[in-house]
Structure 1
Amino acid sequence: METKKIRIACFGEVLWDVFPGGQRRAGGAPFNVAYHLFKMGIDVNMISSVGHDELGQALLQQIKNWNMSTEGIQISSIYPTSTVIASLDENNEAHYDIVDHVAWDFIEVRQADQELLSIADALVFGSLATRNQKTRNTLFELMEASSYNVFDINLRPPHYDVRIIKDLLHKTQLAKFNKAELRMMLDFLGKPYYTENDGVSYLQDTFGMHEVIISKGSKGALYAYDDDFYLYPTVPIQVKDTVGSGDSFLAGFLSKRLEKGATVHDFMLQAVSLGAFITAREGACPEYVLGDFIAFRDR
């Protein structure tokens, strides 16, 4: 009997990252997650919006060229396609200048998306999509239709509101933070930082979440399910750049987390391996096939 394919929706920004020299690449954190989920063999839908302009057409064409669905991507006749000016520092860390009042700030609620989420295995989103009331309201409606909400916190000042982050966390089943975001969140809540485990347990208790991931860069990652904590080391590689490494980590995690019969070892190994695999390549969405990744993971 054929195994049921995992179905995931990713919500929020899809855009062009524009790098020094004018090179542009399709990006946006939730889109990066969608790209790698697709590469892992997941049935993925991106819910977003682009402008009715040349950049929007080019972005949709790029996504189609990857054989990904564009059915969930709305086309706005009012707002332009999003562009983000990206730069890399001396440590190959990416920094972004994010323009607002773009198409994905105004994502509409559509019945087709609500119906999709009623049968999907997960909804993935970040905090950036909440900066504008229109898209924020759409997200909250879609979260009600979803049974497994995955919040990749991804705090980018000044594009978030602590009160909204708290509201989202109360409706979240799995939250992912990096080390800095964990400390920031605890600070927002007036909770002193003692240890990672203590901080994670506090967040679980405060928001009623079973699952929390802390990505720790070169120090690996921590996964907590209720009172059980699992620390996994990173996979050593030569860093090309860190653009999208957290997004690929999350995609790797979910591709196994939602697979029937998979163990914590399976989904943590998949997460740290895919994160490393992409960090050793240029850009958030490099070209590759699943076999390339499996060979890297199992070497």
Structure 2
Amino acid sequence: MKPVTVCFGEILWDVFPNGVRKPGGAPFNVAYHLSRLGMDSHIISRTGADEAGEALRKILRQWQVPEDMLQLDTQQPTGTVQATQGANHEMHYDILKPVAWDFIAWQPEQEALVRRSGAFVFGSLAIRSEVSRQTLWKLLDVAPYKVLDINIRPPHSDMNTIRELLRRVDLVKMNEEELQLVLHATGDTFDTPEEGARIVMQRYGVPQLIITRGSKGAVYVDGHGQFGRPAKQVTVKDTVGSGDSFLAAFLSQILKGRPVPAALDLAVEVSGFVTTCEGANPEYDGSRFDV
């Protein structure tokens, strides 16, 4: 039996400077890579009753990711993000609001699915709206293993709510900039990512924490120790979705019972590959990574 994973939150189109659009949203991206890496991957989200929404549903069918938890909104449009590229290949995003994924309604069948999941993955962006936030709170009450992928995107981020989420999860992934923002909000300073991670763990009771560092690799910290991995040396095309693929690859190994160092090895391998492609979800077969 494949491990069951459930991703909750935004599903949308990333529109690039050249006018090309790519399917995106961190939970959507993670769900894609989990599926590619051998998980029974599901997503809870919402699209508009429009061409953009139907196109995303068609993609899910092509990916063989079930769409039964994907709600249809007749009032709000499917989500869109305008992406622009800045220095060092970093992408910047204009996330339109309100859109369909701001209104993910709670349904009993969601609870049944989440209860039997090996990992319930969600980001901090979906909590920008009351409807989706209330649905998330209910699902957190029943999720066996809660994974928070922090995505601080001003002005869509409320630090008080993010701190509340940190107290309720089992694993957190964030990048160095987000680590700094989280600790700055409480007046904490740190000299190394490992030190910052331990401050977050102590302050909020987080059991496991991953800090992604871009070209410097990543660090994993828990109550027993820490592990670091350098980034793969590749020719970067763009960094969209690299963190999402990192998280998916890490979870795909942990849920199969493999040790943290092996999970990190695959995570840097997959995320490095994604940066050599355009967009968050390049076509590939998980067998290329020997999983």
TM-score (norm 1): 0.94
Whether the aligned pair in 1 keeps the contact of 2:242 and 2:280 (CA below 8 Å) is yes
Give the C-alpha shift of residue 121 in structure 1.
0.7
Q: Which amino acid letter does the alignment assign opposite residue 62 of structure 1?
A: I
**Deviations 1:224-255, CA, capped at 9 Å, x for gaps:** 11140111111111111101000000011000
**Deviations 1:121-141, CA, capped at 9 Å, x for gaps:** 111111110100110111111
CA distance in 2, matches of 1:115, 1:73: 15
Match of 2:231 in 1: 234
Flag structure 2 segments of 5+ consecutive residues without an equivalent.
none
Whether the aligned pair in 2 keeps the contact of 1:51 and 1:79 (CA below 8 Å) is yes
Give the C-alpha shift of residue 267 in structure 1.
0.5
Give the C-alpha shift of residue 291 in structure 1.
2.4
Q: Which amino acid letter does the alignment assign opposite residue 283 of structure 1?
A: G
CA distance in 1, matches of 2:55, 2:195: 46
Task: Confirm or deny that 1:7 pairs with 2:4.
Answer: yes
Match of 1:54 in 2: 51
Within a 5 Å distance, the mapping from 1:137-286 to structure 2 comes to 137-260=134-257, 262-286=258-282
CA RMSD of aligned residues (A): 1.2
CA distance in 2, matches of 1:19, 1:246: 18
CA distance in 1, matches of 2:88, 2:217: 18
* SS of 2:237 mapped into structure 1: coil
User: What's the % identity of the aligned pairs?
Assistant: 44
Give the C-alpha shift of residue 145 in structure 1.
1.1
CA distance in 1, matches of 2:190, 2:68: 44
Give the C-alpha shift of residue 90 in structure 1.
4.6
TM-score (norm 2): 0.97
* SS of 2:236 mapped into structure 1: coil
CA distance in 2, matches of 1:165, 1:209: 13
Give the C-alpha shift of residue 190 in structure 1.
1.4
* SS of 1:91 mapped into structure 2: helix
Structure 2 CA distance for partners of 1:197 and 1:90, relative to 1, 3 Å: closer
Give the C-alpha shift of residue 198 in structure 1.
2.1
**Deviations 1:182-231, CA, capped at 9 Å, x for gaps:** 11111111112233222211111111111000001111110011140111
1:287 pairs with 280, 283, 286, which one?
A: 283
Whether the aligned pair in 2 keeps the contact of 1:243 and 1:279 (CA below 8 Å) is yes
Whether the aligned pair in 2 keeps the contact of 1:242 and 1:279 (CA below 8 Å) is yes
Within a 5 Å distance, the mapping from 1:65-84 to structure 2 comes to 65-84=62-81
2:121 pairs with 124, 133, 154, which one?
A: 124
Q: Which one is further off, 80-89 or 32-41?
A: 80-89
Q: Which amino acid letter does the alignment assign opposite residue 96 of structure 1?
A: Y
Aligned residues: 291
CA distance in 2, matches of 1:136, 1:285: 26
Q: Which amino acid letter does the alignment assign opposite residue 282 of structure 1?
A: E
Whether the aligned pair in 1 keeps the contact of 2:207 and 2:222 (CA below 8 Å) is yes
Whether the aligned pair in 1 keeps the contact of 2:211 and 2:220 (CA below 8 Å) is yes
Whether the aligned pair in 1 keeps the contact of 2:102 and 2:131 (CA below 8 Å) is yes
**Deviations 1:19-56, CA, capped at 9 Å, x for gaps:** 12321111001110110000001001110000111111
Whether the aligned pair in 1 keeps the contact of 2:266 and 2:289 (CA below 8 Å) is no
CA distance in 1, matches of 2:153, 2:87: 20
Q: Which amino acid letter does the alignment assign opposite residue 196 of structure 1?
A: P
CA distance in 1, matches of 2:141, 2:92: 33
Q: Which amino acid letter does the alignment assign opposite residue 49 of structure 2?
A: H
Match of 2:25 in 1: 28
CA distance in 2, matches of 1:281, 1:292: 15
* SS of 2:232 mapped into structure 1: coil
CA distance in 1, matches of 2:264, 2:65: 25
CA distance in 2, matches of 1:190, 1:17: 34
